[in-house]
Structures are given as C-alpha cells and as structure tokens.
Structure 1
Amino acid sequence: MKRHAMTGCLLLAALGVYAQTQGKDSLRVVNLQEVEIISTRATGNTPVAFTNVTKEELKKQNFGQDLPYLLSMTPSAITTSDAGAGIGYTTLRVRGTDATRINVTANGIPINDAESHAVFWVNLPDFASSVKDMQIQRGAGTSTNGAGAFGASINMQTGDFSLKPYAEFNGSYGSFNTHKETVKVGTGLIDGHWSFDARLSNIATDGYIDRAEVGLNSYYLQGGYYNDNTSIKLITFAGKERTYHAWNYASKEEMEEFGRRYNSCGLMFTDDNGVQHFYEDQTDNYTQKNYQLLLNHNFTSQWNLNVGLHYTKGDGYYQEYKDGRKLIEYGMQPYEVNGETVKKSDLVRKKAMDNWFGGGIFSVTYKNDRLNASVGGALNRYDGDHFGRVLWVKNYLGYLNPDNDYYRNNATKNDGNLYLKANYELGGGVSAYADMQYRHITYKINGDNDKWNSATNTLQKLGINEKFDFFNPKAGLSWQINRNNRLYGSFSVAHKEPTRNNYTDGLLNEPPKAERLFDYELGYTYANSWLNLGANLYYMDYKDQLVLTGELNEIGEAIAANVPDSYRMGIELMAGLKLPCGFQWDINATLSKNRIKNFVETLYGYDDEWNDLPGVKINHGTTHIAFSPDFILNNRFGYAYKGFEASLQSQYVGKQYMSNMDIEDHRLDAYFVSNLNLAYTFKLPRLKSVTVGCTVYNLFNEKYENNGWASRYYKNSPQIQSNSAGYAAQAGTNVLGHVSIRF
C-alpha cells in the first residue's frame, strides 16, 4: 500500500513540474553536446557482428520482465527464468555462452560483478526504462572495459536530456499477481544548459513457480550541464530486491507427483498427513547503489574526450534452511540428549556479502574524412567481504551467537586496461580495422571458504593470489561494395581470467586456468529502404574454455570447469522487411555446432555410507557443450495502423544437453514459444499520449523448460551409475495488461 501511495505522490509531483515549466520554449537550443561513451561501440565500418536496439523497441516490450527477456529476439540469444515468468533471477546466453562470459557496460562503465563476472539483472530492476539504446556485439567484439567478452558484449547508453519538461506513468498488471509501476519526470532544458531527470519503479510478482515471490524497487536520477562543446552528467541508480529461492528446479518425478510448479527450496519437513512445510524466509536480499560522473568535451570537430568516474556499493545476503548439517562445520560443538551425542541438526544459515567497486574510464577520439581512431582504457578496484552466520539450530542445547561468523574471507581485485583502435578508409569502399588491448588483473582471496576440508577437519583455507596479463589484438576489413551491399571479415584474440566460483567451487588441487579465444568472423549485409538481409559466419576456437558442467553449488550458481580444446561455429542469418502499409517482418536464425574435443569426465562415487570413492576417468570423445543448442529461430510479425500496433513474436530453441556427456537423461527438449502484443495509442486533452495494451505470453501454452541442472555419480562400483536432473519449468499462457500515460 505504501508503495502505491508513493507512486501516486510522485505522479502528482510530476504534474506540478510539468505545469510550472510547460510554458518555456527550449526548442531554440538544438546543438548541445550530449554525454556519449561510444569508443567501445561498433559502427557500420567495424567488421564485427552486432545488433542495435533502440529505446522505442525496448519500450514496446518493457512491461515488467527483466532486461534479458527484452533482448531475447536478437540473434543467437536465449533466456532463462528461475521463477518461470521472466521476472526475478533471469539470465541471457549468447552463442551458448553464459552470463559470466558476456561483457556488459553502461555508459562505458563495467556492470559485470568483478568476482562472479555475471550481471545479476535482479539488482537492476527496470533499468530498461532509463536506457536510450543498446548494442549487442556477438563474439569477441571490439575492446571494452571490464570482464572479457567470450560470447558477446552489451553496451548500454542511458537516456539523454529532453528539451521540454515531461512526466510519464507506466503501469501493468496480470497473471501471478504480477504488477509494475514506473514514474518518470524531467525538467527539460533549464536556462539553456541544465537538465534533470528521475525515475522510480516498483515490480512484484508471485512467480509461476511455487513461492517464487519477487519484490523489486529501483530509482534512477540524473542531472546534467550541457553547452556546445562540453557536457557533464551525474547519474545515480539503485536497485533493491527480495527474491524467494527457486533455483533447485524440479525433477521429472517431482513434477509428476507435485506438479510443474513444484519448488523444493526451503523444505523443512513433511507431516503425517503428507503435507510439506517450508521455511518462509528462504530469500535472497540485496541492495546495489551505483554512481557515475561523466564528462564529454569536443576540443575541435576532430578531437573528442570522454572521462567517467564510478562507484558501486553492494550489500546483501542469502538466508536458507538446511537439514542434517554437521554442527562442527558451522563452528559448533556436538551436544548430548538422553545420552546420545548429536552431531547433525537442521539449521538456518545466512551467507552475506559487503562490497564496493570503483574506478575510472577514459577515451580520446580523433576523426577525419578517412580515419577514425581512439585510445582509451580503465582502472578499477574491487573490495568485498564474504561471511556466514548461523541464525537458528533445531533443538540446540549449546550457546548460539547469531552475530558470530562461522566463515569469513576478503577478496580484492585490481583491473586495468589500455586499448588503441582505428578504422581507416583505404579507398574503393574498403576500410581496415585494427584494435589492440592490454589488460592487467591482480586478484586475491584470503580467509576461510564456506566449504569443509575433511582431510584437515577444518574449513578450507583460501590463499589465492593471482596475476594475469592479457594482450588482445583484433583486425579486420570491411568493404562497402555499393550503397546497399557490405562485406566484412575479422580475426580477434581474447583472454579471460577465472571467476571467484571457479576457484571456490573447484578442486583444491586443480586450480582453474585462464581462457583464450581465437574468433573468426565473416559477414555480409544488404540494406535498402524496405529490406535488410544479413549473414554472419563464425568460428570460435577456445583453449581451456570454462564450460558449464550442469551442476549447481549450494546457492544455485552454475559450476564450470576447464576443457582443453573446444569450439563454437555457426552461421547467423537475419532478414527484415518493412512495407509502407505498416507491416513489418523480422526473422533471424542461428545454426551452430558447439563441441568439446575429446571430453574426459571424472565420475565420482560413494559407498553405502555415502563416503567418497575415487574418481574414475571416462573419455567420451567429441561431445556437445552444455546449454548450447544447435538451432535457434526468432520470428516477429508486426503491424501498425494509425495508433494501433500488433506484434507476434516466436522463438524456437533446439534441444540442449545440461551436461557435457551427451546423456539423454540430461537433455532439455526443444521448445517453441510465441508472445502476442496488442496496443493502442491515442491523445486526450492536456495529455501527450495514452497507450493501453495487453500482452499474452506463451500464446499456445507450450509446456517447456529452458534451464536446469544435471549430475551423475556411481554407487560402490563405476558400473552402477545414477543420473539426476532438475528442470526450470516455465509458465504456460499468461497475460499482462499495461497502460502508459505521458504528460
């Protein structure tokens, strides 16, 4: 109720701002310099595969789902959702590569978590409402800041200033009690130089999966000074999330017994009547605040300078119920009850993080008739504490201090890079591109891990002190054959350091290795006023690629392991048709082959008492890389007439294996999902526009799973193997109504 009241107050305040300033005509100023960090972006002459997504395209889909789902129709992209409806913990994969290998920046500033390398979109609720445009580069792409791009990079530019004051309300409500409220206001240009904008958003849902509730709040504030040659912008945005765990997924047997929406996270016990009881506070809680100061200055028409300073503060925790845990692993001593020694008990634990990330970026660009060159780089620092506490123990007779850490470690990371890139027109429509980047990383973790070392009867000790020096050259040619036809090719080298989880989830005697990628791209595009065609061939040759194993760690994060030799190769086909009658057709498809050469599995075993048995090596030959379908097809039909718009989006994703052994019991079946969106825009007195609409997700009620986990082990003998798998069931047909009012 308080959130809705706050939304209403902001809307009234926005109307007041609009009423006070609507009489000022700021259209007289049209040449002000906007802040744009574009040195890491590709242009029409850059020989890489990329897709630009505009603000208008995002707005037509942005009714509550997380940002990955707004990009799901771009080539080679697939999405996943723990809660089953696209809100909460969602991920994006491109060319089969997971989130830890997709570089993400906002205004050129790294967004990837410095340790996990992933972007947790749940910490950036409704960020799409503040984005001006996005560019998705596939493959190694151009040099960028932050974690290495091993499958794709996503470059986001936040909104620029508005010449006139405005106020806007966007709201939606639908299935699973899903709702979103967003208020945006802007002053327009004040005194010809100043502009201020604000956004406040609330998103919540019960989720499709049982108890997968999500509550998200966020804000975005920016103020800027602009003149003909210089612009300065201060931005702050933050997100606060509370999400019930839904990462266990469900086995086929559990789905058959309890239904597709079954969620075992937080299960405490089953009573005598067969009713399961769950821990109500099995939640993830996190707050992330971001600050950016951006400067852009044009010295001349040829020379440009961009500088950005940033700081991010993160603070949060997981809270979860765990059954049958050894007390000694949590820093507690066994106790006696009725003459029996109790060594295990049920408990509630809290695993927390407290971290900050800050630094700066810069780029200097020179441009004349034939040469476009830039030099840039970044220097960033991360410092994070990881610690755990026990909040409650069932029937515990000893002293329990919920403020006492049972483990704690600290991680620091320094990440610096310099790059020089240039595009030179040789003549005859041919341009040569060269891009060189040097990157240096130091990474340290010290303290106790949260895992037990049975050999020493203590928590594992972390003493990681790593240094990496990477040189990442790229080169290519682009040939603008004529006005409509373009041909390009490139070769890129990329390196990437392991993530935190690669160290803490791996074997103590087998530290992870850095990855290397040789990326070959060859593409062709055709474009005229009504037709666009494109084809891109790629071959990505990896050494020591960290591929997903299919297993999850104790907090639902995917585990990865190095494989010596692997590759991803394929062709991306794209076509777009736009007719004067208002009809639009966009289609893209990816046919690929993602393989590990000579994959060797280590099969682990247990005896009848669940004691560890030695691992057994099994050579499987060439196998599919986990979570990498060989075929993806995206199709969109759109029609617009006056204020009416309709679109039908469809995606087909071929079968995937959730492990790397080509085991059928570890397979995700192919699926075909369609979404129908209808909207009508009209005007009312004193309103710029009103849009009402409805989106029907999964129109044909496809029963499918788009994510999961898989593992296997042997019992007593390697010949007695057991396969296990869990599946992330997705919602059937569901509806979301939406309205947008612009003042």
Structure 2
Amino acid sequence: MILFAEFVRFFRQASLLVLTAILMWPALLNAGEIISGEVLDPSGTPIARATVSLEGGSPPSVTAADGAFELALPETLSFPLRLSAQAPGYEPGTLELEGIPSFLEIRLKPTPLFSGEVKVTTNRAQIGETPVTLSNISREEIARNDWGQDVPLLLQHVPGFYAFNDNGNGMGYSYFFLRGFDMRRTSVSLNGVPLNDAHSHGVYFVDLASFLSTTGDIQVQRGVGTNLYGGSAIGGAVDMRTRTPLSEPRLRISAGGGSWGTRTSQIEYDSGLINEEWAATFRYSRSKSDGYRDQSWLDAWNYYATIEHYGKRNTTRLVLFGGPEDTHLAYEGITQAYLNGEITGDKRKDRRHNPLTYPGEVDHFFQPHFQLINDTQLSPDLRLNNTFYFFEGDGYFEQYKSDRWLPAYDLEPHPGPDGEIIYTSDLVRRREVKEWDAGWIGSVEWRHGNNRGQLQAGLAVRFHSGRHEGTTIWAESYPPDTPPNHPYYDYQLDKQTYQPFVQEQWAVSDRWRLFGGMTWTSHRYHMHDDQLKGIEFVENFDYLLPRLGVTFSPAQDWSVYANVSRGGREPAFRDIYDPQDFWFGDQPHELEPEELTDFELGVQHQWGSGYARFNVYLLDFDNAIVWAGGLDSDGLPITANGAKTTHKGAELELGWTPRPRFGARLTGSFTRATFDDFEEFGWDGTAQDHSGNRIAGTPDWLASLELTGGWGPVDLLVSVRYAGRFYLDNTEDLRKYPELKDRPDYIHRVNEAFTTVDLGAKINAGQSLASLIGAKAIVVDLRINNVFDSLYTTFGYVWGPEPTWIPAATRSVYGGLTVDW
C-alpha cells in the first residue's frame, strides 16, 4: 500500500526515480546461469510487463503477471554489472551490482506525471506528519474489493465506519455512519469538490454507479481533521480522488453478473501520453440489479471522462461524469413478523418484503458534473491551485399514500356520491427538483523557513439554486373542477456559502511539528417564490472553526499526535422550515449551528512490512439536531433539536505485508455515543427524557479482518466483518421504562450483532489465452458475499406501533470477466 505521506514526497524529490534492490539469500553463481527476481512498485504490488536487462549481456527478460523474471547471464562477466529495469508508467533507471545475488527484488517508482501531479491537497493529511486520525485506501485496495457495490460498502474496513443499503445487496441507496454520526455530518468530496447536498447535507451515492472503477484513492479522516471547506466534518471527511490516465494506451472491457439479477458492463479507454503533454481516460458503465428486497431494482448508467494537459509548470485537468439512475425505493423496514417468516411460513421469502409496493415508487435522477482543476508551480516554494465546478440535478419520484387529509395537499373536501363530505383519500404524489450548484476553490501553498513551514490559504465559494415542486397526480377522490397535477408545494431555494481558510504546519525540529488552522464559514439560505403560501425569508449562519495540533516523532518509524478542533454544521433547510409538510406551520424555526469540540490522541508505528495505528477520541457535541427514531416521507431520518451529546471511543488499525501479494489488515473500534441532555417532544406535545441514553442507529463495536494471498495466476481475498448490536431509537430499548418490557408481546428495539464472511478471487488467464484475441490480459473475477448465508439486518427504526428493520442479502455470488488490449 502506498502511504499518502510517501505519495506526497514524490513531488518533493528532484529525482523522479528510486530503484532499490534488496539482496536476499546472497550466493555467488557461476557465469552462464540466471538471476531470478521480481519487479514491484513501492507498495509491493507486482509490476507485469516490465523489462529487465543487463548492459552488454544476453536478451532482456519481461516480467510475468506476478512480477517475476529470469535473466540469463553471459558466459563472461565484468563487474560492476549494470542492470536496467523499465515498465509502462514507471521511470527507467539503472543499478550497479558488485556481486550476483540468487534472488533480486527490484522496486520502481511511478512516473510522477501519472502519480497525482494534479493534486488537491488542501483537505488531505499525511500520516506521521499531520496530527489527525485517518485511513488511506489505495487504488490497489479499491480494485481488489470492488465488485460493483456503492462507495460506502467498500469503506466498511475503516475503523468506526458503518454502512448499510436499502436494497439489501449493496447497490442502490446506501448510507453510512462515522463515529456514530450519520453521513449528513460527514464531509464527502470528489477531487476536493463537495458532494454533500447544499440544503439537506445528504450524499446520494446512487448517482455514482460503478464509480469505484475510476477512483484512484480515498482518504477517510475521522473527526474534524484538516477539512477546511465543503460540508460539515463533525463525524469526519471522506475524500475520493479519480485516477490519472495511464502512460500507455489501454482498452478495457469488462462484464459481470450474479445473484439478485445483478448485471454490470463497462468499457474504458486510456489514450496514453500524447505528444508528451496530453492524456485522457474515457469510461462508460451500466449497472442493473433486481435488488435483494422485492421491488428494489436499480437501472443506472454512468459516464466518466478526464482530459489532462501537462505543461512545464502547470497541469490542467478537465473531469466530466454523471449518468441517469432509476431506482425503485425500498427505504421502509419490515416488522418482526416478516423476519420470523410468520406471513407465508417461509422466512427467506418474507424477509425480502418491501412495504413500498406501488410500482411507480421509483426515483428518477440525473446529475452531470463538470470539474476544471489547474495546478501551477509559480516558483520552487509557491504553488497555486484553482478548482472550478458545476453540477445540476433534475429528477423526481412518486409515492402512493393512503387515507390522506385532502387540505394537506391543497385539495378541497367535497361531497361524495352519497352526499357525505370526503375529507381523506388515497392518492399518488410526485416530488420534483431542478437544481444547480457552482463553485470555485482557490488556494495557495507556500513552503517557507528552509522548507520547515507549509502555509495554505484560500477561499471556497459555492452557490446553489433549486426549484422544488410537489403535485398530486392521482387521487381516488379527486375534487371536481380541480385541474390535474395540482401542486401542494412549489418554491425556490437558494443558498450561498463562503469559506475563507488558512492552515500552517511548522517543523520545530526533526521530532516536533506544529499544526494550526481556521475556517470562517458563512451560509445564507433564501426561500422565495412560494407559489402557495407566499412565504419568503432569509436565514444566515456564521461560525469560526479553529484547530490546533502537534506531532512528536520519538524515532524514525514512530509518531504520536494530539489535536483539539472545533467543528460546526448549519441546520439543514427543512430543519428550519419545511414547505413540503402541511403540519410544519408557517414560521421558520429559530435554530443555531451545531457545535463540536474534538479531542484526538493517537500513535502510529511503521516498519518495513507493516504498520500499526491506535487512537482515542472525545467529541463534545452541543446544539445537536438529532434523529428522533423515525423516517420522514422521503426516507430521511426525522430530526429534533436541543440535544447535548458525547461521543468517545478508541480505534485500531494494523496492516502487515510479509511478502509480495500476501497481506493482512485488522481493524477495530469502540464508540460510546450518549445523550448528556435531550428531551424529545412527540406530536401530542408529551415530553420524553433521553438523557443518559445511547444514541440510536450505529453499533458500539466494529471489527474487520482482511487476508490476501497470491499464488501464480490466482489472487485470493478473505474478508470478515463484525458489527455489534445497536438500538433502533433513542429510548435505549425503553431503558427508563422497564415495566413496559415485561409484557409478553414486547419486541426489543435493537438490531442484533452480526458477523459476515466474504470471499474473492482474481484469476489471470495467462498470456497464451489472451494472445488468441490479441489482448494483453484476461482476468476472471469471482466473489461470494455472506459465505455462511447468515440472516441478519443492518438498520432499523421505530416509527409506529412496533420496530422495523432493513434486511441484508443472504449468500450472494458474483462473477466477472475483464479483458485488456
């Protein structure tokens, strides 16, 4: 795995190549024999099709898929021997040998031009240098674990990260919690561009179908971290970065399928370097699935294109991506009767039930993105980065609702056939949005003090505008003389965000580094053009977010860090005022920004074949707008305000690579999230005190184990994941009302702990088979999820007379084929 710290240092070094040879089992050979070895990248990944040659010697050797080579020695030798190695995407170089090893391990460094020369580093941290808690997921790890699932499902090995999916099989609408905070309090960005919705703070990964195939790496920071702009980073920050084009041309076609009617296909083309200054990548993907749950199908396609220009002092990158998605919604849970098979007598059939049975309950959305990123080296110590972005969204979904009060939909009660006044009716409503976002992120990086200091300063600006409209497209008792598709809400919402920021890192000595920064955040909501109620108002939220930290390195491979940071989040718009809810009233709520103080303490150790990281944290959260234990009519958590909570815990991450293609990673976390002070009010005005209770929705204990191994053409993966039990609402399973739990019909409000085991294999079909169709490589992918066929649930809530749960898929099998030309 390429640690991000090493990745950044690529750009600091004057030399673009490091060719290191580790001599193992040294023994002199007689002339005329061979040198065997392998060629690897800095992370230990084998490099295929590398050329290894001996100056003035016999013909060169080309490495196999596992990076292995055998180089014949000439009959006569003259020392020192000059050995050279080169591979597409890596800088060539030479190595002098005073002796002849029995086995030679060669490591090549990637050409910096294609190793992230376009770098958006303002929100990125470096292990061992920046005093924040983080995990890096490399391109190699992404490729090893990607089978077509949504992004959150891939990140479940990150300590403190918990993900689930409405459809049950990992494709469709997916969500995550980080340290007990839902993703609306986590900053999510792509190439540094914020993805959190401007007014709801949500993230819609369903719009990024098959996006992992062109994701270069992901950094997950836990806690406030170095996030200087974008969405709220109370729980943490997830920054995805798309990969840069390959240095050599490549055409890749892949297709796969498996359980629950899942089908994926993709075509991808890399131009390679053109005229030493241009490169491009193009991809088209299609994903379809019936979903594990009934009527939870997905049909989405996605395009991606990046065109890059490399100048002497600057790099410019144009990134385009998007694609329409159609998804039958499945956000409602099922009761215990369905889980136990009490409906039909078949537990496996009943648990797949989706209460949203209306065939038109389908989400249609299209969100094309445009990004233009320029990185300019003004001088050896001064770098300027500018990012311009624009994306728009256009979509709608329909919902069937029974026995609804007509005035709530701006429909008049009216006499029925028998003369009785009809006040309620079954109906179908359509909710539509047309919106756009545009922004600019400008930053300057100045290295000063003989390269001991690094100052970053800049400004992020974001503008959002959206039209929201809801109409009743059908009603069983539609009022006479009322035009069809009658609107019940129709308004315009605009938002402006300004975030100037500054951050400094200073190496006091070889052992001590100081870190500090701050961001001023200013948000302005403006609701206007309300076609039904004529309501217009402006709400402003401003706050300052400072951070301070220190890193101490007692030895070369050890570092200890501590930091204290402030985080904040403005209320989502519909927490302030909800024009889509008739019962909300006509006045906006007076809310304050949420406030967080984050205390972090951690240690990390790095050695030649592995690493170990451990940290503890305390998050003090005020003015919290918290989940009340139910979902609204959009499937989003219903929130209440006025809470004070504490999140504290410990996290562990261990990684070990004893030899190339063999490795292990173990992660674990404990989170205790509790209410210090929270009183929740029901619809009837009754109060319920939750102080001292645990916060619902996320497990206390999480753990994972990943084992990898490769033999010849086969690479295997074993993944084990454990999630502890958690509560479905904020009563902590009626902790304060034990007398209610003594009833024989009581159903506990908990999601039980579960363990899953997944297996994966990648099989290289070999050059002989690939050459039959003129290909460079053919790889077969096999995947078995939930090997032991466990029946478990991943989420739940209490909204109504009894708890409901979201079931996960039983054993699932997937297979795929990838061909490279």
Same-fold call, TM cutoff 0.5? yes
Partner of 1:473: 546
Partner of 1:636: 706
Cα offset, 1:98, TM superposition: 0.6
Partner of 1:42: 125
Aligned pairs (5 A) from 1:239-638: 239-255=323-339, 256-257=342-343, 259-266=350-357, 279-333=358-412, 334-368=414-448, 369-394=451-476, 396=478, 398-399=480-481, 401-446=483-528, 463-504=536-577, 508=585, 510-580=589-659, 582-604=661-683, 614-638=684-708
User: How many angstroms apart in 2 are the aligned matches of 1:473 and 1:149?
Assistant: 13
User: How many angstroms apart in 2 are the aligned matches of 1:602 and 1:125?
Assistant: 39
Cα offset, 1:397, TM superposition: 6.4
Change (3 A) 1:461 1:59: farther
User: How many angstroms apart in 1 are the aligned matches of 2:465 and 2:200?
Assistant: 13
User: How many angstroms apart in 2 are the aligned matches of 1:564 and 1:332?
Assistant: 37
Is 1:726 the counterpart of 2:804 in the alignment? yes
User: How many angstroms apart in 2 are the aligned matches of 1:523 and 1:475?
Assistant: 15
| Contact kept? 2:247, 2:272, Cα under 8 Å | yes
Q: Would you say how many aligned residue pairs link Structure 1 and Structure 2? A: 680
| Contact kept? 1:64, 1:179, Cα under 8 Å | no
SS at match of 1:60: helix
Aligned pairs (5 A) from 1:650-665: 650-663=720-733, 665=748
Change (3 A) 1:691 1:402: farther
What amino acid is aligned across from residue 343 of structure 2 in structure 1? Answer: E
What amino acid is aligned across from residue 786 of structure 2 in structure 1? Answer: N
What amino acid is aligned across from residue 492 of structure 2 in structure 1? Answer: N
Partner of 2:154: 70
What amino acid is aligned across from residue 318 of structure 1 in structure 2? Answer: F
User: How many angstroms apart in 2 are the aligned matches of 1:91 and 1:72?
Assistant: 11
SS at match of 2:213: helix
Cα offset, 1:428, TM superposition: 3.6
User: How many angstroms apart in 2 are the aligned matches of 1:618 and 1:346?
Assistant: 33
User: How many angstroms apart in 2 are the aligned matches of 1:708 and 1:582?
Assistant: 39
Match of 1:98 among 182, 205, 218: 182
Partner of 1:152: 236
User: How many angstroms apart in 2 are the aligned matches of 1:399 and 1:144?
Assistant: 55
After superposition, what is the alpha-carbon deviation per residue over 1:435-468, rounded to whole angstroms, capped at 9, x for unaligned? Answer: 111111111223659xxxxxxxxx7775442111
Cα offset, 1:321, TM superposition: 1.5
Change (3 A) 1:388 1:336: same
Partner of 2:819: 741
Partner of 1:179: 263
Cα offset, 1:487, TM superposition: 0.5
User: How many angstroms apart in 2 are the aligned matches of 1:230 and 1:603?
Assistant: 58
User: How many angstroms apart in 1 are the aligned matches of 2:535 and 2:712?
Assistant: 63
Partner of 2:760: 677
Cα offset, 1:657, TM superposition: 1.0
What amino acid is aligned across from residue 737 of structure 1 in structure 2? Answer: G
What amino acid is aligned across from residue 363 of structure 1 in structure 2? Answer: S
After superposition, what is the alpha-carbon deviation per residue over 1:630-668, rounded to whole angstroms, capped at 9, x for unaligned? Answer: 111111111122321111111111111121111263211
Change (3 A) 1:319 1:193: same
Deviation larger for 550-559 or 250-259:
250-259
| Contact kept? 1:81, 1:89, Cα under 8 Å | yes
What amino acid is aligned across from residue 511 of structure 2 in structure 1? Answer: G
SS at match of 1:71: helix
What amino acid is aligned across from residue 820 of structure 2 in structure 1? Answer: R
What amino acid is aligned across from residue 320 of structure 2 in structure 1? Answer: T
SS at match of 2:142: helix
> Based on CA coordinates, which of the two structures has the bigger radius of gyration?
2
Cα offset, 1:619, TM superposition: 2.5
Change (3 A) 1:105 1:35: same
User: How many angstroms apart in 2 are the aligned matches of 1:281 and 1:90?
Assistant: 21
User: How many angstroms apart in 1 are the aligned matches of 2:118 and 2:660?
Assistant: 37
Match of 1:128 among 203, 212, 215: 212
Alignment identity in percent? 26
SS at match of 2:692: strand
User: How many angstroms apart in 2 are the aligned matches of 1:479 and 1:27?
Assistant: 34
Partner of 1:717: none
Cα offset, 1:61, TM superposition: 1.9
Cα offset, 1:27, TM superposition: 8.2
Change (3 A) 1:532 1:461: farther
After superposition, what is the alpha-carbon deviation per residue over 1:200-233, rounded to whole angstroms, capped at 9, x for unaligned? Answer: 0100100010111111111011212112211111
Change (3 A) 1:478 1:168: same
User: How many angstroms apart in 2 are the aligned matches of 1:467 and 1:367?
Assistant: 36
What amino acid is aligned across from residue 257 of structure 1 in structure 2? Answer: I
Cα offset, 1:395, TM superposition: 5.3
User: How many angstroms apart in 2 are the aligned matches of 1:603 and 1:468?
Assistant: 27
| Contact kept? 2:184, 2:201, Cα under 8 Å | yes
After superposition, what is the alpha-carbon deviation per residue over 1:38-92, rounded to whole angstroms, capped at 9, x for unaligned? Answer: 1210013100001111112111122211111111111111111100000000112
User: How many angstroms apart in 1 are the aligned matches of 2:726 and 2:90?
Assistant: 54
| Contact kept? 1:143, 1:437, Cα under 8 Å | no
Deviation larger for 683-692 or 199-208:
683-692
User: How many angstroms apart in 2 are the aligned matches of 1:203 and 1:179?
Assistant: 6
| Contact kept? 2:681, 2:688, Cα under 8 Å | yes
User: How many angstroms apart in 1 are the aligned matches of 2:311 and 2:638?
Assistant: 50
| Contact kept? 2:89, 2:246, Cα under 8 Å | no
SS at match of 1:703: coil
Q: CA RMSD in A?
A: 2.1
| Contact kept? 2:160, 2:671, Cα under 8 Å | no
Partner of 1:276: none
TM-score, normalised to structure 2's length? Answer: 0.80
Structure 2 gap ranges (5+)? 1-87, 93-110, 345-349, 735-747
User: How many angstroms apart in 2 are the aligned matches of 1:197 and 1:245?
Assistant: 33
Aligned pairs (5 A) from 1:694-713: 694-711=782-799
Higher strand share: 1
Cα offset, 1:179, TM superposition: 1.1
Structure 1 gap ranges (5+)? 1-24, 267-278, 450-458, 605-613, 713-722
Cα offset, 1:503, TM superposition: 2.5
Cα offset, 1:342, TM superposition: 2.5
User: How many angstroms apart in 2 are the aligned matches of 1:382 and 1:335?
Assistant: 44
After superposition, what is the alpha-carbon deviation per residue over 1:607-637, rounded to whole angstroms, capped at 9, x for unaligned? Answer: xxxxxxx422232430101113211111111
What amino acid is aligned across from residue 650 of structure 2 in structure 1? Answer: I
What amino acid is aligned across from residue 265 of structure 1 in structure 2? Answer: L
Change (3 A) 1:668 1:286: same
| Contact kept? 2:474, 2:485, Cα under 8 Å | no
What amino acid is aligned across from residue 356 of structure 2 in structure 1? Answer: C
Cα offset, 1:28, TM superposition: 8.8
